[in-house]
Amino acid sequence: MRMQIFILMIFSIAVAASIAFFYTRKILRPVDKLVSGINRIASGDLRYRLEPLGKDEISQLAEHFNTMAARLRNIQNKLKRTERLETLGKLASVLSHEIRNPLNSMVINMQILRREYKKSASAPEKLDHYHNIIVSEIKRVDELVSNFLMIAKPPKLEPETRKVAEILDEVITMQQPLALPKGIRIERNYSDPELKARVDSNKIKQVFLNIVINAIQAMPGGGRLKVEMEKTISYESDLTLDMIRISFKDTGKGIKPEDLKHIFDFYFSTKKEGTGIGLSIAQQIIEEHGGFIRVNSQYKKGTEVIIYLPIYYDS
């Protein structure tokens, strides 16, 4: 009899312990998830959403947090639009200033050209020389204006289904002859070269080009640029999404930590000849495609620019 009571006691303790264990797990796990999710939102990642955690108060709290994060993101987007208008104003004043130089140069060279034409014995090379200066100044103005238009009123996307590897290859083939004489090796590693996306090829090509040129410019003494592509899953938006991850990793100068937060700003440049437009345009184009862009860098060691684009599956 005593033995039976003893066994019963052990059994009841075991049952009570497992019920306690089960409930603690059931409650603690969602709380854990809730806390880490809230931390993520609080740290500024307003795209993050907490996953549904059940049907109780915890889950309700998670839902409210999601609603709050969505509202904050809306406000943040509105602020971004206001910032954009400010940027456009700034851009317009820089543009008018920048255009004056090539215009002056064109006027002077036209006057010389006219004078030379009037001389009957003017050498054709001389005429060519002034003519070429005028043409290159016209190109410079055209570039300034098209960059401005790109930012002020981005042309509509013309998406088509493309293998991203093909566009990458076009850009690398184009840049390789410029990189090699500088002692820069461009390596490719595509884990799945068949990955496709809906993209405006010209725009995406421009993005890849801006990034590759930045990497080349960051390695004046030579180095290595690794271009990798793989499939990944993004948890950044409301839904988890299959994405293509494209990484451009160089062994160049790197970026100072205090500069890192400015590299996507219009006109931010640390280069003598830079306009500081390449990365801001790249970010704009990638976001228009439903993707995003990230940069990791170690000063004096190297930089990695990563682009995420939604995968397109033929169904």
**Binding map of ligand ATP across residues 237-256, x = CB under 6 A, - = no contact:** -------------x-xxxx-
- Cβ closest to Mg ion, residue 278 vs residue 291: 278
Note whether 252 binds Mg ion by CB under 5 A: no
Kindly tell me which residue out of 133, 165, 279, 293 binds ligand ATP, with binding defined by CB under 6 A: 279
Per-residue b/e over 10-44, b at no fewer than 16 CB within 10 Å?
Answer: eeeeeeeeeeeeeeeeeeeebeeebeebbebbeee
Kindly tell me which residue out of 109, 175, 210, 284 binds ligand ATP, with binding defined by CB under 6 A: 210
Report strand pairing: 223-234 vs 184-190. Answer: parallel
The pair phi, psi for residue 172, each rounded to 5°, is -65, -45
Least Cβ distance, residue 213 to ligand ATP (angstroms): 7
- Cβ closest to ligand ATP, residue 62 vs residue 186: 186
Kindly tell me which residue out of 100, 271, 294, 300 binds ligand ATP, with binding defined by CB under 6 A: 271
CB 71 within 8 A of CB 63: no
- Cβ closest to ligand ATP, residue 200 vs residue 250: 250
Note whether 268 binds ligand ATP by CB under 6 A: yes
**Stretch in the footprint of ligand ATP (CB under 6 A) among 58-66, 123-131, 150-158, 269-277:** 269-277
> If you count DSSP H runs as helices and E runs as strands, how many of each does the chain have, helices first?
7, 7
Distance CA 277, CA 152 (A): 13
Partner in contact with 286, chosen from ligand ATP, Mg ion, none, beta carbon below 5 to 8 Å by kind: none
* Sequence-ordered alpha helix ranges (H) in the chain: 2-42, 57-118, 124-152, 164-179, 201-217, 257-260, 278-288
Distance CA 88, CA 46 (A): 26
Distance CA 133, CA 105 (A): 8
Footprint (CB under 6 A) of ligand ATP, residues 133-172 = none
Distance CA 148, CA 204 (A): 18
Type of residue numbered 253: K
The token pair at 273 is 């000849």
- Cβ closest to ligand ATP, residue 49 vs residue 253: 253
Partner in contact with 168, chosen from Mg ion, ligand ATP, none, beta carbon below 5 to 8 Å by kind: none
Note whether 254 binds Mg ion by CB under 5 A: no
The token pair at 207 is 């993005």
Least Cβ distance, residue 289 to Mg ion (angstroms): 19
Note whether 293 binds ligand ATP by CB under 6 A: no
Kindly tell me which residue out of 63, 170, 188, 276 binds ligand ATP, with binding defined by CB under 6 A: 276
CB 162 within 8 A of CB 196: yes
Sign, CA dihedral 162-168-169-170, equals positive
Binding region for ligand ATP (CB under 6 A): 210, 214-215, 218, 250, 252-255, 259, 263, 268-271, 274-280, 303
Binding region for Mg ion (CB under 5 A): 214, 278
